[in-house]
Structure 1
Amino acid sequence: MSERIGLFADIHSNLEALDACLERAGELGVSRMVFLGDLVGYNADPAAVVDRIAALVASGRAVAVMGNHDQAIFTDHSRLMNPAAWTATEWTRAQLNAQQLDFLKQLPLILKDGDACYVHASAYQPESWRYVNNDVSAWQCAEHSGEIYTFVGHEHDPMLFYQTEIGKLRRFKPHAGKEVPMPSHRRWVAVVGSVGQPRDGLPEACFAVFDPREQHMSFQRVPYDYYTAAEKVRRAGLPDSLADRLITAD
């Protein structure tokens, strides 16, 4: 039986979106999970989200890497973030207990497993939080990954890059729910989209499922109660723009 790996990025403290994606992953037969960073930030349920993911990691069913918003909880990123993001970061820090903070601090920047590399931003200088959003940045990411398959988050917009016959990487825009063949004679870089704050005009949560044995991947869009998630943001006293973004997905 093939192993199906669920790939979840940019959860951003959105409990409603995370729970909906985990439920869909179970329905799709996902047996292993990878959390590609930015577990916290922007939204109103950081403690619950960290606890959910920490429990999955402790059970051996999941692994996780660090994102820039996770790092910002214990490192000053005030000059790197816009005011709304930094306001949410400072608020988030006050919501987390010592155990939750320690979990975020212990997350690695990058993980490799078999033919796969997992990282929040680019495998090229992962500590610099570079975006993978065009052919050149995807090529840099693949070169420094050194693996056949590289899975990243950070961009909040799902996309897939494949290696051409002359070695360049080209962008492919996936359709939700459609299996994309990913044969191992090429290199691939997949940007898996955002669970908790999509920015591609579709408010539905996004995650991906990869089958390493069958060598294919699908991107999933999952409806969830984003109005409740947005109202929680407002009730927490966080910037209204963060609540609005859950609905507009811009």
Structure 2
Amino acid sequence: MAGPEPVETIDFINDLSKRWNMAIIQGNTDEMIVKSTGSDKYTPPNEIMAASLKYAQEVLRPDQKEFLYELPAQLKETIGNLEILFVHGSPRRNNEDIFPNMDIEKVKEMVDRVTENIIFCGHTHMPVNYHVGKQAIINVGSVGRPFTELPKACYVILDYPDLSGKEFSFNYRFVDYDYKSAADKLAKLPFKGADKLAQMLIKATSRYPE
């Protein structure tokens, strides 16, 4: 949702998941697209995002909606001696924000019942990481719609050289991409506010278009 090519993007991700056995989880907007019921949980934050949601629901094929519907909300993986939890928002909810500059006590509350060594999350599209005891909470940012000072695709590489131990490191990668072309495509989509969403690819002055 809120991107220039929802149909092509889902096909691309689905193909990657099959060819490379990639693990994929469901985001909150994926859930809204396939489970929208009018409840507060599935209500977009404003009219522009609602129009974007409606557009995605109209253009996606039935098989693509089924793909989104069947994605797991969370995934747990064990690599060597590391246990890793993948979530979209927080371990509690897929639409709970883990922002930069949060009170660490609030972060602790979010992960209170989690036992994994690493928690990877996203949702806010803002890269940030916290440490709670021996636990790392890593917001990986966003490849497709980054909310950073510079409009670069953002992701994280985990380095875990000794599978018998629990020492690891991680690095954020920021990659140039043709965000102006992406914005041009988005601005031409046939729903109200597409032009404002497009501007956010160039400069994200707020989290949601106004």
Report the TM-score, using the length of structure 2 for normalisation.
0.83
Match of 1:117 in 2: 85
Aligned-partner Cα distance in 2 for 1:55–1:145? 32
The answer to whether 1:70 aligns with 2:30 is yes
Q: Which runs of 5+ in 2 are unaligned?
A: 163-167, 206-210
* Contact 2:187 2:196 (8 Å CA) reproduced: no
Match of 1:58 in 2: 18
Paired AA for residue 92 in structure 1: A
Shift of 1:60: 4.3
Match of 1:144 in 2: 113
Shift of 1:78: 5.9
Aligned-partner Cα distance in 1 for 2:161–2:97? 28
The answer to whether 1:131 aligns with 2:131 is no
- Going from structure 1 to structure 2, the CA distance change for 1:137 and 1:104 (only over 3 Å counts) comes to farther
- Going from structure 1 to structure 2, the CA distance change for 1:243 and 1:88 (only over 3 Å counts) comes to same
Residue correspondence of structure 1 range 14-33 to structure 2 within 5 A: none
* Divergent runs of 4+, >6 A: none
Q: Could you tell me the percent identity over the aligned residues?
A: 27
Match of 2:199 in 1: 244
Shift of 1:59: 2.6
Q: Which runs of 5+ in 1 are unaligned?
A: 1-40, 168-185
Match of 1:83 in 2: 47
Match of 2:60 in 1: 96
Matched positions, count: 187
Aligned-partner Cα distance in 2 for 1:106–1:60? 18
Residue correspondence of structure 1 range 171-210 to structure 2 within 5 A: 186-210=134-158
Aligned-partner Cα distance in 1 for 2:76–2:42? 30
* Contact 1:207 1:219 (8 Å CA) reproduced: yes
Aligned-partner Cα distance in 2 for 1:50–1:245? 21
Structure with the greater relative contact order (CA < 8 A, sep ≥ 6): 1 or 2?
1
Shift of 1:81: 2.2
Q: Aligned-pair RMSD on alpha carbons?
A: 1.6
